[in-house]
Structures are given as structure tokens and as C-alpha cells.
């Protein structure tokens, strides 16, 4: 029994160890998976920022070289006109020279010279309307400036005969004569589409976005190209509200005002001009592979945990079954121990009953048959005999002996046991009603007598002291209603107690 109990406790411990092990493994696996995914995501984002930074650095250098080349060209034109201020307006020879210079600048749409009165005096375009340009900021800046420094203005919409033509970026340089007087300004109309086409070679438009922006916040050129995007103000974007105020170059994440996509941006100011280049990488596309990997890893981890749970469930159910079997065996051991004790007690008790029965029989033989104690001695002897039968049944149970059902007349048993039942029913009164005919049934006599005694005792405990306990035996016929109520009941007559 001790070994069974010890095995039972060990199996319970194994069940709890299995449950705790699976829980700990699931938690550790989830933590490791989460850490790995977070670290991988961080590395991908940092790699994206690094890539955007390298591109923005290259574009900054490209823009600087373009403006420097343009500055050199405008200086040549400015110096030539300063040396020959008498050059006629729209001089064919001078115009040819301008066009030769324009051919060297693929990112410039037109070169033109504005006189001191604000009207065009030289122009590479044909058919440009003769309208005053004195209201243009580039003209005002050069007219008011005492030097001939290069001025990069905001993007402007062209006033040429091509109605609705694209915007252009004005880059101008003042023309000052030897006496310091203002002669005019030479202006280059930089083509934004050139930069958009140049940026298109950097990558897929779904993945990368590049922008050239004026420091005022106006968009000059963008890739991917979108209609009417030039001249759009980005002054309320994070780049201008926060980032540029903190540093002239850096990286950040933001949602684009133009197309609404979230990107990882790297920006750089094109010193010393009021231009900013920004490169953005689509965050969703950057993390697309990571998301697929994360989904696959989570699915694999979930599948592993499910398999472990299923395996643990099978193991636990098996252990629970083993525990139930162990507990059943433990109970059997206890019952066997109780049976051994009961067998010993019953054997000793049977010896006492034998001695008591012998003394009662001796006393009964010594007394005259008409003595008043003969009835009491007979009842006592009957109780001793019934106790002997009970001891026999107890010994039979302790030794795993089978019951012995036989055909008995219930009326005879009730008549024989009536006096003993009356003694058990006191202080209540016991009434026994028996039929005239024989009332036979296949029973274990000892078991029937014990059950009958238990019924009378229970009835006595549930009845007042002045009550009547009635034991009735009768023969009844089995009806169809009885068979519906008790399907196993055979047809014919039965004894009913």
C-alpha cells in the first residue's frame, strides 16, 4: 500500500512537472521569438535609414555640382554683357552663344536676360511674350543687391506662350557695369522634370521616393512624378516643422503629404543654397519580407506549441488514467486490509456467538417448556443464529466468496423474524400482513434478512414513538404499465414486499 501511495504521488508530481515545463517552454519560446523579431525589424529599419542616407548624400553632391556649373555659365554671360553693355536686344549672335551654353546644361530649359526695366533683352526661347518681369522675386533680388551673387529662387510657373507649362526653378545672377550700376539679370530656368527623370534611375517608384525642395517648403521636383506636385507647399510637414530646425541633415519617419505613404526619410541641405534633397524608402515594402518571416516564425512557433500541448494532453490524460488506476488499487489495498481485519474480528465474534448460543440452549433445556422465559430465550437464540449467518456473510465477503441465492418462502422468513423485528421496531409497533398463499422468491436469505432489518430500523428512526410500522407481503400480477416502467420485468406474478 505504501508503494502504491508513493507511486501515486510521483505520478501527480510528473503531471505538474509536465504542465509547468510546457508553460515555461512556451513563455521562453515566445520571448525569444519576440526578441528576434524586434531585433530583426530594428536592423532592417536601420539598414533602410543607412541606404536613404547614402542616396541623399550622393544627390546632395549631384545638386551642388549642377548649381556650381550653372553659376559658372551665368557668370560667363554676366561678364560678357558687363563688358559689352551696348549689345543690341535679342542679338542673333549673342542668342546663338546662349543656346550653345544651354546645350551644355541638360537640366536647364531656357537662358534669358532681363534688362534693368524688367523686360527681356536676350532669350533662348522663341515667341516668349514681351511682358514685364519686374515683379519676379529673382529680378527684385538682383536689382536690390549690390553684388552679383547667385540667387536660387522659389519654383515659379512659366509665363511663356505654352499655357499650363511646367514650373521651373529660377537661378539668377546680377549684371553690374564697371561703374556699379545695375544692367540687368541673367536667369536660368531649371527644368524640374530633369531631376524627376534622373531620380527615376534610383529604384522602383513603389519603394523609393526622392524630392528636391526649396527651403521655403515648396516642392521643386519629385519622383515618382505626380501631376501638379511642383509648387506644393510642404511647410507643414515634419521635415520643416521639426527636423530642419534641429539639424541641416538627418533622418526621420513620416507620412508623405503627396501620396500618403509612410517612409523612412534621410534629408540634406544643399549648402549654401536654399535647397533640400530628401530620400524616402517605403516602410511597408521594407518590412514586407520581415512581416512574411515573422508570420512564418509565429506560425511555426504556434504549431510547435500546439503539438506540445497535444502531446502534453495525451501524456496528462495517460497519467490521469494511471492516477485513477493507482487510486483504485490503493482503495483495493485498503479494502483488502479492512477485509482482513473484518475477517479476524468476525472470526472472534463468531466464537463469542457460539458460546452465547450454547449457553442460551443450555438455559432453555434446563427450564420447563412452559416457563415464561422460554419465549425470550427462543428470541435471543434466533438473534444469535442470525448474527452467526451475518458473520458467515462477512467472512464470505472477506474471502471473496459468492452470494448463495436460493428459492425461499418470504412468508416463512417474515414469520420467523417477526419477534426480532418487533424488538428492533421498539418503541414503535410492528404489524406484519402476510398472504395465505406461498410467496416464493429467489433470494440470498442472509442478505434479505439484513435488508429487512435495515428497513425496519430506518422506519423506526423516521417514525414517532407512537407510530406503526407495517410490513406487508403480497402476490401481484405484472401489468403492461409495470413492464413499461421496468423493462426488465418478466410477465406473470411476482412477490411484492
Q: Are residues 130 and 255 in the same domain?
A: yes
Kindly report the CATH number assigned to the domain that includes residue 6.
3.30.450.20
Q: State the CB neighbour count (10 A cutoff) for residue 39.
A: 10
CB 256 within 8 A of CB 281: no
Q: Are residues 467 and 340 in the same domain?
A: no
| Among candidate residues 385, 437, 388, 430, the one with its CA nearest the CA of residue 410 | 437
- Pick the last residue of a domain from 254, 286, 318: 286
Q: Are residues 149 and 171 in the same domain?
A: yes
Cα 23 to Cα 305: distance, rounded to the nearest angstrom? 9
| Among candidate residues 92, 187, 91, the one with its CA nearest the CA of residue 139 | 187
Q: Are residues 50 and 158 in the same domain?
A: yes
Domain boundaries, position 199: 1-286
- Where are any strands of DSSP class E within 120-192? 120-123, 150-157, 167-176, 182-190
Q: Are residues 179 and 103 in the same domain?
A: yes
Phi/psi at 41 (5° precision): -60, -45
Q: Are residues 255 and 119 in the same domain?
A: yes
Cα 223 to Cα 197: distance, rounded to the nearest angstrom? 8
* pLDDT at position 163: 43
Q: Is residue 244 part of a domain?
A: yes
User: Under 8 Å CB-to-CB from 34, ≥6 apart: which residues?
Assistant: none
Q: Are residues 88 and 215 in the same domain?
A: yes
Cα 289 to Cα 284: distance, rounded to the nearest angstrom? 10
Q: Are residues 247 and 395 in the same domain?
A: no
User: Under 8 Å CB-to-CB from 490, ≥6 apart: which residues?
Assistant: 478
Give the chain's domain count.
3
Q: Are residues 437 and 368 in the same domain?
A: no
Phi/psi at 440 (5° precision): -100, 145
- Pick the last residue of a domain from 286, 301, 335: 286
Q: How many CA atoms lie within 13 A of 82 on its CB side?
A: 19
* pLDDT at position 186: 95
Q: Is residue 303 part of a domain?
A: no
Q: Is residue 464 part of a domain?
A: yes
- Where are any strands of DSSP class E within 361-410? 406-409
Between β-strands 468-472 and 429-433, what pairing exists: parallel, antiparallel or unpaired? parallel
Q: Is residue 475 part of a domain?
A: yes
Q: For the residues of 447-483, what is the DSSP string, one character each?
A: HHHHHHHHHHHHHHHTS-TT-EEEEE-EEEEPPHHHH
Per-residue pLDDT of the chain (497 residues; tens, 9 = 90+): 455 555 556 666 766 777 788 888 888 888 998 899 999 999 999 999 999 999 999 999 999 999 999 999 999 999 999 999 889 999 999 999 999 999 999 999 999 999 999 999 999 988 788 888 999 999 999 999 888 889 999 999 887 645 445 789 999 999 999 888 999 999 999 999 899 899 988 888 888 999 999 999 999 998 988 777 788 888 988 999 999 999 999 999 988 777 788 889 999 999 899 999 999 999 988 888 888 988 888 888 888 888 888 887 887 777 777 767 767 776 666 666 666 666 677 666 766 766 777 777 777 777 777 777 777 777 777 777 777 766 666 666 555 555 667 887 778 877 777 777 777 777 888 888 878 777 777 887 777 777 877 887 788 877 776 788 888 888 877 777 777 777 777 777 777 77
Kindly report the CATH number assigned to the domain that includes residue 484.
3.30.565.10
Cα 424 to Cα 426: distance, rounded to the nearest angstrom? 6
* Rounded-to-5 percentages of helix, strand, coil across the chain: 55, 20, 25
Q: Are residues 46 and 171 in the same domain?
A: yes
Q: Is residue 218 part of a domain?
A: yes
Cα 347 to Cα 63: distance, rounded to the nearest angstrom? 116
Q: Which long-range contacts (CB under 8 A, 24 or more apart) does 359-367 make?
A: 360/384
CB 112 within 8 A of CB 139: no
165 DSSP 8-state letter: P
- Pick the last residue of a domain from 339, 373, 401: 401
Q: Which residue has the cell 418487533?
A: 422
CB 196 within 8 A of CB 226: no
* pLDDT at position 6: 58
Q: Are residues 389 and 251 in the same domain?
A: no
Q: Is residue 171 part of a domain?
A: yes
**Cell numbers describing residue 71:** 553659376
Q: Is residue 160 part of a domain?
A: yes
Between β-strands 208-214 and 150-157, what pairing exists: parallel, antiparallel or unpaired? unpaired
Buried b (16+ CB within 10 A) or exposed e, 456-483: beebbeeeeeeeebebebeeeeeeeeee
* pLDDT at position 447: 75
Q: Are residues 423 and 381 in the same domain?
A: no
Q: Is residue 297 part of a domain?
A: no
Amino acid at each position: 500500500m505504501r508503494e502504491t501511495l508513493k507511486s501515486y504521488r510521483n505520478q501527480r508530481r510528473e503531471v505538474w512537472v509536465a504542465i509547468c515545463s510546457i508553460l515555461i517552454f512556451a513563455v521562453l519560446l515566445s520571448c525569444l521569438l519576440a526578441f528576434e523579431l524586434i531585433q530583426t525589424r530594428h536592423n532592417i529599419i536601420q539598414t533602410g535609414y543607412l541606404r536613404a542616407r547614402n542616396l541623399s548624400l550622393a544627390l546632395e553632391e549631384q545638386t551642388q555640382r549642377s548649381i556650381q556649373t550653372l553659376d559658372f555659365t551665368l557668370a560667363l554671360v554676366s561678364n560678357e554683357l558687363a563688358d559689352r553693355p551696348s549689345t543690341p536686344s535679342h542679338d542673333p549672335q549673342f542668342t546663338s552663344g546662349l543656346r550653345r551654353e544651354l546645350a551644355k546644361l541638360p537640366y536647364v530649359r531656357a537662358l534669358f536676360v532681363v534688362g534693368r526695366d524688367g523686360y527681356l533683352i536676350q532669350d533662348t526661347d522663341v515667341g516668349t511674350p514681351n511682358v514685364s518681369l519686374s515683379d519676379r522675386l529673382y529680378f527684385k533680388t538682383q536689382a536690390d543687391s549690390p553684388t552679383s551673387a547667385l540667387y536660387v529662387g522659389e519654383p515659379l510657373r512659366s509665363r511663356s506662350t505654352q499655357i499650363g507649362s511646367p514650373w521651373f526653378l529660377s537661378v539668377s545672377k546680377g549684371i553690374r557695369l564697371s561703374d556699379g550700376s545695375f544692367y540687368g539679370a541673367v536667369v536660368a530656368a531649371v527644368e524640374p522634370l530633369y531631376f524627376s527623370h534622373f531620380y527615376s534611375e534610383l529604384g522602383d517608384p513603389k519603394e523609393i521616393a526622392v524630392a528636391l525642395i526649396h527651403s521655403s517648403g515648396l516642392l521643386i521636383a519629385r519622383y515618382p512624378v505626380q501631376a501638379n506636385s511642383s509648387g506644393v507647399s510642404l511647410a507643414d510637414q515634419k521635415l520643416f516643422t521639426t527636423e530642419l530646425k534641429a539639424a541641416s541633415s538627418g533622418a526621420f519617419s513620416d507620412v508623405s503629404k503627396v501620396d500618403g505613404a509612410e517612409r523612412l526619410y534621410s534629408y540634406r541641405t544643399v549648402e549654401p543654397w536654399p535647397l533640400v534633397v530628401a530620400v524616402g524608402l517605403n516602410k511597408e515594402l521594407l518590412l514586407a519580407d520581415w512581416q512574411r518571416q515573422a508570420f512564418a516564425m509565429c506560425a511555426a512557433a504556434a504549431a510547435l506549441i500546439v503539438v506540445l500541448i497535444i502531446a502534453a494532453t495525451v501524456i496528462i490524460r495517460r497519467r490521469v488514467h494511471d492516477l485513477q488506476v493507482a487510486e483504485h488499487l490503493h482503495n483495493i489495498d485498503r479494502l483488502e486490509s479492512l477485509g482482513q481485519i473484518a475477517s479476524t474480528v468476525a472470526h472472534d465474534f463468531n466464537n463469542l456467538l457460539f458460546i452465547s448460543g450454547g449457553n442460551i440452549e443450555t438455559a432453555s433445556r434446563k427450564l420447563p417448556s412452559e416457563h415464561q422465559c422460554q419465549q425470550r430465550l427462543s428470541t435471543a437464540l434466533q438473534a444469535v443464529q442470525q448474527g452467526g449467518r451475518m458473520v458467515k456473510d462477512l467472512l464470505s465477503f472477506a474471502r471473496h466468496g459468492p452470494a448463495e441465492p436460493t428459492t425461499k418462502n418470504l412468508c416463512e422468513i417474515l414469520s420467523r423474524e417477526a419477534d426480532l423485528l418487533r424488538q428492533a421496531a421498539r418503541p414503535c409497533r410492528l404489524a406484519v400482513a402476510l398472504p395465505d398463499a406461498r410467496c416464493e422468491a429467489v433470494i440470498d436469505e442472509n442478505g434479505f434478512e439484513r435488508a429487512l432489518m435495515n428497513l425496519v430500523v430506518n422506519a423506526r428512526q423516521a417514525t414517532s414513538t407512537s407510530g406503526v410500522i407495517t410490513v406487508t407481503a403480497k402476490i401481484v400480477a405484472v401489468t403492461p404499465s409495470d413492464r413499461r416502467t421496468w423493462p426488465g420485468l418478466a410477465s406473470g406474478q411476482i412477490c411484492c414486499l
